[in-house]
Amino acid sequence: MNSNPSPTTITTPEALQHSTPYTPLPDHPTSSAVSPAKDHLRPFKGLAGIFLSMLFMSSMITFFFSNFGNQSESSPSATEAVLPETLMPPSRGESEKTFLASSGTGPAYPWTDAMLAWQRTSYHFQPVKNWMNGPLFHMGWYHLFYQYNPISPLWGNITWGHAVSRDLIHWLYLPFAMVPDHWFDWNGVWTGSATLLPDGGIIILYTGGSDNNVQVQNLAYPANLSDPLLLNWVKYKDNPVIVPPPGIGLEDFRDPTTAWHTGDGKWRVAIGSKINTTGIILVYQTTNFTNYEPLDGIMHAVPGTGMWECVDFYPISTTDMNGLDTSFNGSDIKHVLKASLAIEMKDYYALGTYDPNNNTWTPDNPELDVGIGLRVDYGKYYASKTFYDQNKQRRIFKNDDLLKGWASVQTIPRTVVYDKKTRTNILQWPVEEVKKLRLKCIEFNGVELGPGSIVPLNISSATQLDITATFEVDKEAWEATLEADVGYNCSTTGAVVRGTLGPFGLLVIADDSLSEFTPVYFYISKDIDGTYKTFFCSDEMRSSKASDVDKNVYGGLVPVLDGEKLSMRLLVDHSIVESFAQGGRTVITSRIYPTKAIYGAARAFLFNNATGVSVTASLTIWEMDSADIQQFPFESDDSTTSLLSAKNLYISDIEKIIYISCSKYFHYTSAKLLGPRIYRSSGLFEILFVARAKKIRLNEVIENLTTLKIQSEKMTTAQHYHDTETHQNWVKED
């Protein structure tokens, strides 16, 4: 059996001590009392101003179709199914040096293949190389389509890669779904969206770069709906189905949304565009997805925001935590409008009211309109889309992180719900399936952080983590502070600049001497009238000694209501850190490329760099297993038959995991197996093996008696367990 220490609950700072001596940060940033971090905590100062010019759009445009049907084909027939080679998963030792985009200003760092291989994420989906691209759920499988360039990491030759998953965490690569092989997508199969029809049909509308670089909208559909893997796709023979209307730039018309049904037998789809510097949304309607008519007017426009890419439009319930199908409309509903701003490479959203009769959407608060208010994610996050998961009745965000320094990576999918407390924003949270990867758990309770202190967290591995933390600011000192840092802003001030009420939080992917570290933190400003603002930030400026990678300070305001503790959750996975504040009101994704804090040298710390208050922190840290991402195991020429007849119970068949503190309980969809998560106890079953096993073969199910054969590199054995309501009467039969 694999030997693991029991979970430990730590309640005192003394229990956090490490062999390396640490001295609290000084009360004054110019003091020399700090060792060893003093050389690396220099103040970072800057000033930035962002001014949005507002333009009034005085006229509307008239739409009509142009005739693109006369162009000749110089490629295979539109009804042919093209099935290129399968995209192979990367090996752990594969170098990513060719994917580095030197966005920094300094000289090239002497990267080694081993260092670059470490940067690759372990539980985030990441293609072998190049660009990411909409998801759907079909016959028990989640399908992810992503934009991929099989030739180089640069934009161009864009193909749709294809992967499937049972649980949005463990992925299997499939052959390419679509390649640029017709005149209407000769310069790329670009972003698109899937729509599930009431009769079970599936259609995809996608933007194609035509042979003369015109952006047109094309239709594709599965060749065989009974295939759970949807391996073969057919492009409609009369593509394109929508072309740029008069007044719209030929290269400013892209990224159709999922279609929604209006109840009168018609479907509508939105497309992003611009007029001069005004971002706009155009809407078309159809009854058959092959013939479209433009609706009069513009659904929404915001001056000064430029081209709107990857537009997303969906309903969200104000009373229910479940997600809604895109076509849902009625009372107790808000509609979220999201756009990716090409001029900023950022995703914005707003809540509002949709009027289908007049084809308009109106924001609840004009000061928080699309492009000038709320961000989906304040970090490196772009071109996101949602989809409705009808399997679990939830709406899920996924993003297409364009090449931002390295090969692109998929963030952990996030559920999206309405924040019923603030009534001004959405809440994003990692899907519950990510908990399947949790391994060793350690709790730290009531850790006192005085002004200017750093406390090391004694955990065995800090490379792959799931961290939840709460922070309480000393009330007496808080109330005694009359005014503090009124002009604070995350983007202009990093974690090393000290204020009265901040910053405080966590240092992740840090080395032992703090020559590299990434702070994720809160910073509070207080006005003379007693009002305050809370900022949630992530500082990459000291995340790497390399000067040829992009490093920024990200973040924004996070609403904190009376009586709420400050809380954050971090998903750390090598070169990516996803941070969620106050249940997902504000989210930041960071990509970091350390040179020292890698492999066993990666550490984590609590810190309080405030000058005027003490903070009490409590946190739970799970070490995370790696996701299983590999080529789909085709076992015969008929993959569908092989799939449906397979007797393997995969990791993704775990239906639900329940956590009570550091104890873990789990359900299987077919075995109905239930038991505690333990580390060492009389040879009882350890979920650690489930998480690391490639598959679990289900041999027999007889009422409550289940026989499982665990197959992994370190363990091959048969064990029996008896399930009782109390979870106590478990036996092992060798």
Domains of the chain, start order: 191-430 (2.115.10.20), 438-630 (2.60.120.560)
pLDDT the model gives residue 152: 53
Tokens 């333990």 sit on residue: 678
pLDDT the model gives residue 397: 78
Highest averaged pLDDT of the listed ranges 87-101, 173-187, 569-583: 569-583
Secondary structure (H, E, C), 162-189: EEEECCCCCEEEEEEEECCCCHHHCCCE
pLDDT band, very low/low/confident/very high, at 307 (cuts 50, 70, 90): very high
Does 570 score more than 60 pLDDT? Answer: yes
For 370-381, what is the mean pLDDT? 95
CA nearest neighbour of 129 among 102, 174, 161 = 161
CA distances from 522 to 13, 39, 198, 607, 608 (A): 21, 23, 46, 11, 10
Does 67 score more than 60 pLDDT? Answer: no
Tokens 């199969």 sit on residue: 189
Tell me the pLDDT tens digit for each residue of 625-676: 999 888 887 754 443 333 333 333 344 444 444 444 454 444 444 333 333 3
Q: Collapse the DSSP code of 480 into the 3-class scheme (helix H, G, I; strand E, B; otherwise coil) and give the result.
A: helix
Does 11 score more than 90 pLDDT? Answer: no
For 546-564, what is the mean pLDDT? 94
Q: How far apart are CA 536 and CA 378, in angstroms?
A: 10
Does 500 score more than 80 pLDDT? Answer: yes
For 682-704, what is the mean pLDDT? 32
Tell me the pLDDT tens digit for each residue of 406-443: 456 788 999 999 999 999 999 999 999 999 999 999 99
Of 712 and 101, the structure prediction assigns the larger pLDDT to 101
Length of the chain, please? 734
Does 569 score more than 70 pLDDT? Answer: yes
C-alpha of 14 from chain center: 36
Sequence-ordered strand ranges (E) for 411-481: 414-418, 426-430, 438-449, 453-456, 464-473
pLDDT the model gives residue 662: 55
Give percent of the chain above pLDDT 90. 53
Q: How far apart are CA 115 and CA 602, in angstroms?
A: 13
Between 115-124, 160-169, 300-309, 650-659, the lowest mean confidence (pLDDT) is in 650-659
pLDDT the model gives residue 26: 33
pLDDT the model gives residue 95: 26
Does 713 score more than 80 pLDDT? Answer: no
Residues 282 and 245 sit within 8 Å (Cβ to Cβ): yes
DSSP H stretches of helix in 235-384: none
Residues 192 and 134 sit within 8 Å (Cβ to Cβ): yes
Give me the chain's average pLDDT, please.
Answer: 76
pLDDT the model gives residue 393: 87
CA distances from 161 to 75, 144, 405, 434 (A): 20, 8, 21, 23
Of 514 and 84, the structure prediction assigns the larger pLDDT to 514
Of 89 and 328, the structure prediction assigns the larger pLDDT to 328
Q: How far apart are CA 672 and CA 666, in angstroms?
A: 9
CA nearest neighbour of 536 among 559, 563, 507 = 559
Does 718 score more than 50 pLDDT? Answer: no
Of 330 and 722, the structure prediction assigns the larger pLDDT to 330
Q: Provide the 8-state DSSP code for 119.
A: H
For 361-370, what is the mean pLDDT? 97
Q: How far apart are CA 100 and CA 108, in angstroms?
A: 10
Tokens 């040829």 sit on residue: 548
pLDDT the model gives residue 115: 84
Tell me the pLDDT tens digit for each residue of 442-489: 999 999 999 999 999 999 889 999 999 999 999 999 888 988 888 899
Residues 723 and 700 sit within 8 Å (Cβ to Cβ): no
Instruction: Give the H or E element holding residue 385.
Output: strand 385-389
End-to-end CA distance of the chain: 13
For 29-36, what is the mean pLDDT? 31
CA distances from 386 to 449, 602, 603, 697 (A): 39, 33, 34, 34
Does 683 score more than 90 pLDDT? Answer: no
Secondary structure (H, E, C), 660-708: ECCEEEEEECCCCCCCECCCCCCCCCCHHHHHHCCEEEEEEEECCEEEE
For 388-407, what is the mean pLDDT? 67
CA distances from 658 to 19, 244, 570 (A): 36, 51, 19
Provide the CB-side half-sphere exposure for 198 (13 A, CA): 9
